[in-house]
Amino acid sequence: MLIDPTDRAATVPAAAESPALTMRGAIRSAWQEPAVRVTVLAVVAIVLAAFYLFFNVPGSLAFALKIRGMSILAMVVVAIAVGCSTVVFHTITQNRILTPSIMGFDAFYMLISTLVVFFFGSLVFLTASPLTLWSLQVAVMTAFSVALFTWMFGGKRRSIHLMLLVGIVLGVFFRSFTEWMQRMLDPLDYQVLTDTMFATLTRPNPALLTFTALLVAAGVIVLIPLLRTLDVLTLGEPAAVGLGVNHKRVVMTLFTVVSVMIAASTALVGPILFFGLIVANLAYSYAGSFRHVWTLPAAALLGVVCLLGGQIVLEQVLGFSGTLSMVIEFAGGLFFLYLVLRKGAR
């Protein structure tokens, strides 16, 4: 049998394919699986946690590890709360630019702190029980958001966009009222209040961290049975109702969970306005799937990686020249502008 020498397919057997190309194709194929991507992200988070925990430990090893361990736990709790709640909020509102903070959580946090200092003085604010202040902030922020949502969405209006507009307007009003009170404070009182304006992820109060972790864990437990329902909600309200979802009841439940998780994390460490926006939108691209069983863990793990990585750079490279929350707000603001311009260009 004569073989045409120009026929390369005939002269090179299929079995002689390069093992390197085969391995590369297998890796590429495996990387398309969301489970593999989330697993890799979890490994990165564990490595960063171990590095932060054990590298360049000053002073007593046990004491330093205890402090850093509490900081890592606080970052994990905040990442889970903010990441998961932002993804759920995007699903409810059908908008990936909005965040739960748009409802005025940060404004309420500062308003409550300002009211305490304004009427009772900085001494009462500093000496008051941290658990009392935390409980007050969580209760007020949760009550406000749930009441607003019930009023705007539970009646005949049922307009999420109108609810968001009212939330934005009220947030601006609370910020203006807070600034007005702050202008009349004593300089020393204002200095004490200024320290609460920026999120603090290191050295959290152990009792507050415990209660926050319990609330966040309860929120996650509520979300787990609703993962498939969340996938259906991404199709929109008409399609979800047509598929048998009790849209009003489910959305009100989800919004209550989001309110509790965001309020608890904000009361624990302070306001982080754009953090959820960053990790949620990165999770959508990274997970490679619309299913919430992958996007929720991806958002939480990306939050852990961002917080731990940022804290490591801040401590080991920049020598504490700044705060992590300031870096997050700066990067988040730029990322928000990018999303707005990209959406507007479409």
Quick count: other Cβ atoms within 10 Å of Cβ 36? 14
Q: Do 263 and 105 contact (CB within 8 A), yes or no?
A: yes
User: In this predicted model, what pLDDT tens digit does every residue of 25-73 receive, in sequence order?
Assistant: 666 676 678 888 889 999 999 999 988 888 777 767 776 778 888 889 9
Average pLDDT over residues 217-241: 89
**Domains defined for the chain, CATH in brackets:** 70-345 (1.10.3470.10)
Give CA–CA dist 20/302, Å, rounded. 31
What's the pLDDT score for residue 47? 92
Query: Which of the four pLDDT bands, split at 50, 70 and 90, describes residue 237?
Result: confident
For residue 6, is pLDDT > 60? no
Q: Picking from 91-100, 177-186, 228-237, which range would have the lowest pLDDT averaged per residue?
A: 91-100
pTM of the model: 0.82
User: In this predicted model, what pLDDT tens digit does every residue of 274-315 receive, in sequence order?
Assistant: 788 888 888 888 888 888 999 999 999 999 998 888 888 877
What's the pLDDT score for residue 9? 47
% of the chain beyond a pLDDT of 90: 15
Q: Do 227 and 293 contact (CB within 8 A), yes or no?
A: yes
Question: Could you give the angle at the alpha carbon of 158 between the alpha carbons of 256 and 282, nearest 5°?
Answer: 55
| Nearest C-alpha neighbor of 295 from the set 305, 285, 304 | 285
Across 224-261, b (16+ Cβ under 10 Å) vs e yields eebeebbbbbeeebeebeeeebebeebbbebbbbbbbb
For residue 8, is pLDDT > 70? no
Ramachandran assignment for 8, one of left (phi > 0), alpha (psi -120 to 50 degrees), beta (any other): alpha
